Amino acid sequence: MLRLAALGFLQAEPLNGYRLMQQLEFFMSCCVSVNSGAIYPLLRRMEEKGEVRLLPETTSEFGQAGKTYEITALGRERWHQEMLAHPHESWVNSRSRFAIKVFFFNHLEPAERVQLLEHRLMSCRLRLAHRQAQPKQANPYQEAVWQRSLDVIESEIQWLTQQLTRELSESGQAEALSAADQAALLTVLPD
């Protein structure tokens, strides 16, 4: 996930390792863990794979030379493939990966955004159905946590439905939204 986020930030502008780490910490701290022990080896690996290139060294205002990286055409292609992929992973990781993807939606085509939203919506519905089919917890604390997890999934479904409706509306495909999704949306939108 760190690679996906790093390549996403490099889409916008070349960055040095420290600035990339700052961007990741500021915008992605809910999704990925960032430290210099991870970011610099990642940049080296991406450079070795041809996904980023090192720009000529520049001197900062403090007189220090710095390595600045920019994404390559191959890096953009691989980032795009990874954005559209649906890896089999834990629920927690899939939530974090999806948050990273949404953060960089502006680099995708409308149809690709719709595809990702629909896939995530389907995953959330399946997760909710599975959770709702489980027996009630006898321990009140466990039950409270269980209910909270259901609430989080239901909230995500509502948010995804709103985002999907907006994407479809902006692309002139609002009629593609199912009647169930339209009904669900009416329950979450303010009057």
pLDDT, tens only, 74-96: 999 999 999 999 888 888 889 99
Confirm if 16 and 69 have CB atoms less than 8 A apart.
Answer: yes
pLDDT, tens only, 11-43: 999 999 999 999 999 888 877 878 888 899 999
Confirm if 15 and 69 have CB atoms less than 8 A apart.
Answer: yes
Q: Give the number of C-alpha atoms closer than 13 A to the C-alpha of residue 78, restricted to the C-beta side.
A: 16
Is residue 182 over pLDDT 80? no
